[in-house]
Amino acid sequence: MPSKAQLPIVYVRGFAGDTSGINKAVTDPFYGFNEGSTHVRVGANEKPSFHQFESPLLRLHLDEGYHILVEGGQEAYLDAHDNVPPNSMWVQRFYDTSASTWGDKPREFRLEDAALDLLRLIDKLKRKTGAPRVHLVAHSMGGLVCRCLLQKILPDQHKNPTDYVDKLFTYGTPHGGITFELGFGLFERLRDATGIHGADIFGPRRMYEYLTPDAEQVEDGPPRGWDARAMPDRESGFPPHRVFCLVGTNPTDYDVAGGLSAIAVGARSDGLVQIDKARVPGSHGAYVYRSHSGRFGLVNSEEGYQNLRRFLFGDLRIEAALVDYRLPPDDEVTWQAEVVLAIRGLPVLMHQRVTAQWCPVPLPQPPGDGADSSPVPLTTTFLRSDLPRPEGSPTMRYALHVRILSLRQTNRILRFSDHLEQTADLDDILVIDTGADASASRVWASWNSAIPGAIKDHEPRGRPLDDEDPRGGLWTAHIPFPDTARPILGDHAKIRLTVTPWE
């Protein structure tokens, strides 16, 4: 079903490595955006099971009515045609000039050149389609190419990035660079000093060069405290809330160099990019049990596509946060939350932050002076009002699984005498239903512990939740936890739902 507002989508691929890797990359007409998969990671009985995902390229064509316009070469097509439909997909083939298979002398790959090429493609698409902006979808290093465009190339030309790009979606981009748990920093220093195969683009010095406008760079940068992940909050900058970062949490299935990459970067990663380096501060995002690439990769995953589709074309943004909680006072206990988001009718989880995948949500101890605890964001999802519901379902249904766990440590040593491994102190599911018109004014919420029988048989009853915010364009409601949660989260803990329009 086509969406209401469609802009050209430009896919920007990731790092290919040396010349042989580049030569292999350019043989693919779509640089990998057409790759699908036939597995989900875990099915029944904890065994991989068959699930055919056609690829993001084909699904956007089938689901959203996007055109794939190549006919011998997309650049030649654009040169030969005017009035190109805006609902079209394009691949930035920046590696073609660096391949040795075309007969010409290869041009050394430089990330800034790739960003300039991306700008030229966007300019041409704006002229040919009449679209005001484009969507950028990027894998791995491709996200850094996009950020170079938004943070350096356009500002250096005194142009506003929001006049060119509407939204940026990244799969497994190392926004904070790539570091290794092994070698005590030796591997990083060797990589950055030699620039082997151009991999120094993942180190702080080169990242500072291509992410910082010329007028703002300091000599011998980056300065102390510079954070490569941050997109500067300037009036003419690209707003981080227009960015979505899909974070992979499965290092096991990234089978590169016999799995040495995953060993080097550590378990808290997708096999190449560490979890805490894959997000832009202030951006939206989701964590999924997928690896950087391969059979169980991020790009060729149903999870990735479902998040991409809703972010690009959604109507409403729904944010869930834990608020007004109090934790039992104990300096030796660390508290964590696990959050899993499921949507009725989808065969995958949209978001999961769990301890088994090294990415729980830390719960800070609220101040001891009686001040309110800061809200803890749990998840953000985007609602599509025009998507068909499963047959016979009166509402669209979301399930937010929340678990609270505690770890008791003395002198940084885990105490096992009163510890039950991976056993939650609190475990419940918030079932959220929205009306047939996907209106924020018709939302019901119930805790599974209060629902008799199976969740699938539950039908929301009574009045929908009241809007607690009188301001227009913003809907807010608070759902108290069950009484059984009071000894852990206090008497006033709630899940706050905030719904705002998303364009």
The answer to whether residues 389 and 331 belong to one domain is yes
Mean pLDDT, the chain, integer: 91
Whole-structure pTM value: 0.95
CA Rg, the chain, in Å? 24
pLDDT surpasses 70 at 240: yes
389 burial type by CB count under 10 A (0-12 exposed, 13-18 middle, 19+ buried): middle
Instruction: Tell whether 1 is covered by a domain.
Output: no
Q: Please, are residues 67 and 87 in contact by the beta-carbon 8 Å criterion? A: yes
pLDDT for res 350: 97
- Bin 130: left if φ > 0, else alpha if -120 < ψ < 50, else beta: left
In angstroms, the first-to-last Cα distance of the chain is 17
Residue 493 has pLDDT above 80, yes or no: yes
Torsion of Cα atoms, 230 then 232 then 236 then 240, to 10°: 30
Statement: residue 491 has pLDDT above 80: yes
Domain-embedded: residue 335: yes
The pLDDT assigned to 369 comes to 59
Least confidently predicted of 99-113, 180-194, 309-323, 384-398: 384-398
- pLDDT tens per residue across span 466-478: 999 888 778 999 9
- pLDDT, residue 470, reads 82
Pick the last residue of a domain from 243, 278, 313.
313
Spatial neighbors of 316 by CB under 8 A, at least 6 apart, are 382, 383, 385, 438, 440, 499, 500, 501, 502
Find the domain containing 409 and state its range: 319-501
| Residues 200 and 341 grouped into a single domain | no
Which pLDDT belongs to residue 355? 94
In a domain, 3, yes or no: no
Rounded alpha-carbon distances, angstroms, from residue 359 to 95, 248, 354, 362: 34, 10, 6, 9
Query: Do 135 and 240 share a domain, yes or no?
Result: yes
pLDDT value, residue 234: 78
- Bridge-partner residues for 68, per DSSP? 89
Same domain, 223 and 324: no
24 inside domain: yes
Asked whether residue 103 carries a pLDDT value surpassing 90, the answer given is no
281 and 158 belong to one structural domain: yes
Q: Among the three residues 257, 291, 313, which one is the final residue of a domain in this structure?
A: 313
pLDDT bracket for residue 1 (50, 70, 90): very low
283 and 151 in a single domain? The answer is: yes
Q: How much of the chain exceeds pLDDT 90, in percent?
A: 72
Looking at the domain assignment, is residue 30 inside a domain? yes
Asked if the structure places residue 2 within a domain, the reply is no
Q: Which residues contact 370 (CB under 8 A, 6 or more apart)?
A: none
Tens-digit pLDDT profile for residues 242-288: 999 999 999 999 977 667 788 889 999 999 999 999 999 999 999 99
Structurally, the chain folds into a number of domains equal to 2
pLDDT of residue 409: 76
Which burial class, exposed, middle or buried, applies to 223 when counting CB atoms under 10 A from its CB (0-12, 13-18, 19+)? exposed
Same domain? 295 vs 357: no
Q: Do 31 and 11 contact (CB within 8 A), yes or no? A: yes
Last residue of some domain: 269, 293, 313? Answer: 313
pLDDT for position 390? 64
Count of other CB atoms within 10 angstroms of residue 393: 14
Torsion sign (Cα): 379, 456, 386, 310? positive
Whether residue 301 sits in one domain with residue 258: yes
Q: Which two tokens stand for residue 46?
A: 């904890």
Query: Are both 387 and 249 inside the same structural domain?
Result: no
- Residue 331 belongs to a domain: yes
CATH code, domain with 32: 3.40.50.1820
Could you tell me the pLDDT band of residue 392, with boundaries at 50, 70 and 90?
low
Per-residue pLDDT at 21 exceeds 60: yes
Residue 4 placed within a domain? no
pLDDT in the model for residue 195:
83
Which pairing describes strands 426-434 and 333-343: parallel, antiparallel, or unpaired? unpaired
pLDDT at 245: 98
Of 316, 314, 284, 289, the residue nearest 301 (C-alpha): 289
Q: Which of 306, 305, 381 is nearest to 340 (CA)?
A: 381
Is 373's pLDDT higher than 90?
no
Residue 232 in this model has a pLDDT that exceeds 90 = no
Looking at the structure, tell me whether residues 206 and 338 fall in a common domain: no
Q: Kindly state whether residues 328 and 284 are assigned to the same domain.
A: no
- Does 416 lie in the same domain as 340? yes
What confidence score (pLDDT) does residue 36 get? 96
